[in-house]
């Protein structure tokens, strides 16, 4: 009995079936790289899992140990600075590519019937990614970590009705204490990644069931496809390598540093969250806290149900380009607020 036959007997999957399962025809427009932005965050997510597991070998999620353990990783352990750098830059690129992917989907109308639900799933993936970013930089034990967590907790506290309960639950008390970091660590290292994996599974399943949105001027063009394997796989591999090069260079040229350790008694003069929260941070400065939270909640809700809103509008006025206009305005607003917050001290 050959080894192949031995294995097939114990793992009864037919090679042809497997091939069919993985090898869906890919629409021709995916030859263009900007249609591959969905695969990019997925690839980076794998990088984050691998580097994250490695970092977790040394990281200590305790009030007194966190900063020192991160410093130990960064300064003492072989290649520690590099792996931490890749993890940090990976996070940045992941958030960036998620946003770009979402923008692509939005402006090409790929969320429309019958793919509304996948947009909703995508919104939750975005939420998970941002929460991973937030919990991630809270773990370092720097001033920024401490005060970001504090601000985050206080934002939560101000959510009407459930806020105070949620806030206490999040940081295990009324203020940051020795129970806070373990919570953030479990969220960052277990709960959120698992949620993300499940959502991703759902995301891809829905995608596979509907097939990738087809574009093209004519029906014939729409029908033009190519093989997933090996053709599209090689494209993804190319993107993956470019990302790896980018990460390695970024981690070396802009290495991670250690900020001042957390000091509960003094908030730094200038405190800024990571870039992907700058827009929220500025929003919070523009209006009273409750108004800001309610409006943020409202904006998230509108984004969540936008496919249905869009469908409603298009039923009334089939030629409406309102969604594009709304999208441009939203992008401009986000860029504007982010730049504003990035440029000023307070």
Partner 1 sequence: MSLTAKQVVIALLGLLFLASLVLVQYTEVMRREEEAGLRQHKVAIPESSKRCYECHRQTNPGIAEHWIGSTHAQKGIGCIECHEAAKTDADAFVHEGYTIATVVTPRDCAKCHPKEADEFQNSHHAKAGNILHSLDNFLAETVEGSRVPFDPHSKTPGRPDLDGKVNGMASAFTGCQQCHGSLVGFEGRDGKPVTSKDLKPDAEGRPTDLEALARIVKNADGKPVFSAGSWPNTGIGRIKLDGSRGSCSACHSRHDFSPRRARQPENCGKCHLGPDHPQKEIYDESKHGIAYQDLKHKMNLDAKDWVLGQDYSAAPTCATCHMSGHSKNGGVITHDPGPRISWAKWPPISLVMGTDINGKVVTEADPAKRNELVKDSWQDKRSRMTQVCQHCHTQDYISAFYKQYDDFIQLYNEKFAKPGAQIMKELGAKGLITKTQFDEDIEWTWFYLWHHEGRRARHGASMMAPDYAHWHGMYEVAERFYEEFIPQAREHCEKGRAAGKATEADAVLALIHEILARPEHAWHKGEAK
Partner 2 sequence: MGASLLASYGTLGYFATRFLYPKQDEEGAWLFVCTTKRLQPGDSLLFKIPKGETVAIARNGAGTGASDFVALSSTCPHLGCQVHWEAKNDRFFCPCHNGAFDRSGKATEGPPAQAGTNLAQYELRVDGDLIYIRVPSSALANSGVGPDARGVIVDPVAIRGPGHDPCLAPRVPSPTREV
Residues of this chain that interact with partner 2 (CB under 8 A) are: 50, 54, 57, 72, 76-80, 82-83, 237, 241, 244
Closer to partner 1 by CB, 169 or 245: give it.
245
Terminal alpha carbon distance of the chain: 73
- In degrees, to the nearest 5, what angle opens at C-alpha 57 toward C-alphas 144 and 143? 10
Q: CB neighbours of 197 closer than 8 A, spacing ≥ 6?
A: none
Closer to partner 2 by CB, 55 or 125: give it.
55
Site for partner 1 in 25-44 (CB under 8 A): 31
Asked if 264 touches partner 1 (CB under 8 A), the answer is no
How many residues make up the chain in this entry?
346
Closer to partner 1 by CB, 11 or 57: give it.
57
Closer to partner 1 by CB, 82 or 111: give it.
82
Closer to partner 2 by CB, 65 or 173: give it.
65
Q: Which member of 230, 259, 264, 336 binds partner 1 (CB under 8 A)?
A: 230
Site for partner 1 in 59-78 (CB under 8 A): 78
**Binding flags for partner 1, 236-255, as an x/- string (CB under 8 A):** -xx--xx-xx--xx-xx--x
Asked if 81 touches partner 1 (CB under 8 A), the answer is yes
Long-range interactions of 188-192: CB distance < 8 A, separation 24+: 188/132, 188/135, 188/136, 188/139, 189/52, 189/56, 192/128, 192/131, 192/132, 192/135
**Binding flags for partner 1, 93-122, as an x/- string (CB under 8 A):** ------------------------------
* C-beta atoms surrounding 114 within 10 Å: 10
Asked if 190 touches partner 1 (CB under 8 A), the answer is no
In angstroms, rounded to a whole number, what is the distance separating the alpha carbons of residues 342 and 272? 8
Asked if 271 touches partner 1 (CB under 8 A), the answer is no
266 binds, among partner 2, partner 1, none (CB under 5 to 8 A by kind): partner 1
In angstroms, rounded to a whole number, what is the distance separating the alpha carbons of residues 295 and 327? 18
Residue 86's nearest CA partner among 46, 143, 146 is 46
* C-beta atoms surrounding 191 within 10 Å: 15
Let me know: does 160 contact 290? Beta carbons within 8 Å: yes
Stretch that binds partner 1, among 116-124, 127-135, 229-237, 319-327 (CB under 8 A): 229-237
In angstroms, rounded to a whole number, what is the distance separating the alpha carbons of residues 71 and 80? 9
Closer to partner 2 by CB, 98 or 139: give it.
139
| Sites of contact with partner 1 (CB under 8 A) | 31, 78-79, 81-82, 230-231, 234-235, 237-238, 241-242, 244-245, 248-249, 251-252, 255, 266, 269
């Amino acid at each position: 009995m050959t080894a192949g036959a031995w294995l097939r007997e114990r793992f009864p999957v037919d090679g042809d079936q497997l091939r069919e399962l993985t090898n869906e025809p890919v629409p021709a427009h995916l030859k263009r790289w900007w249609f591959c932005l969905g695969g990019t965050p997925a690839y980076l997510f794998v990088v984050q899992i691998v580097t994250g597991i490695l970092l977790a070998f040394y990281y200590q999620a305790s009030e007194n140990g966190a900063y020192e353990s991160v410093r130990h990783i960064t300064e003492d352990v072989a290649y520690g600075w590099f792996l931490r750098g890749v993890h940090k830059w990976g996070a940045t690129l992941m958030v960036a590519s998620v946003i770009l992917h979402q923008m692509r989907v939005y402006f090409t109308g790929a969320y429309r019937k019958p793919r509304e639900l996948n947009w909703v799933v995508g919104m939750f993936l975005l939420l998970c990614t941002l929460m991973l970013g937030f919990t991630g930089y809270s773990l370092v034990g720097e001033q920024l970590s401490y005060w970001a967590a504090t601000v985050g907790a206080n934002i939560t506290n101000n959510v009407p009705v459930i806020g105070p309960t949620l806030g206490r639950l999040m940081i295990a008390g009324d203020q940051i204490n020795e129970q806070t970091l373990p919570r953030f660590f479990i969220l960052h290292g277990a709960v959120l990644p698992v949620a993300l994996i499940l959502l991703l599974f759902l995301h891809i399943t829905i995608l596979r069931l509907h097939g990738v949105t087809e574009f093209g001027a004519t029906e014939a063009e729409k029908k033009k496809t190519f093989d997933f394997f090996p053709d599209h796989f090689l494209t993804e591999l190319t993107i993956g390598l470019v990302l790896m090069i980018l990460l390695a260079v970024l981690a070396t040229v802009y290495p991670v540093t250690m900020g001042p350790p957390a000091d509960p008694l003094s908030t730094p003069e200038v405190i800024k969250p990571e870039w992907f929260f700058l827009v929220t941070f500025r929003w919070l400065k523009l209006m009273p806290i409750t108004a800001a939270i309610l409006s943020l909640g409202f904006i998230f809700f509108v984004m969540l149900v936008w496919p249905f809103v869009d469908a409603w509008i298009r039923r009334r006025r089939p030629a409406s380009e309102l969604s594009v206009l709304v999208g441009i305005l939203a992008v401009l607003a986000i860029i504007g607020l982010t730049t504003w917050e990035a440029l000023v001290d307070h």
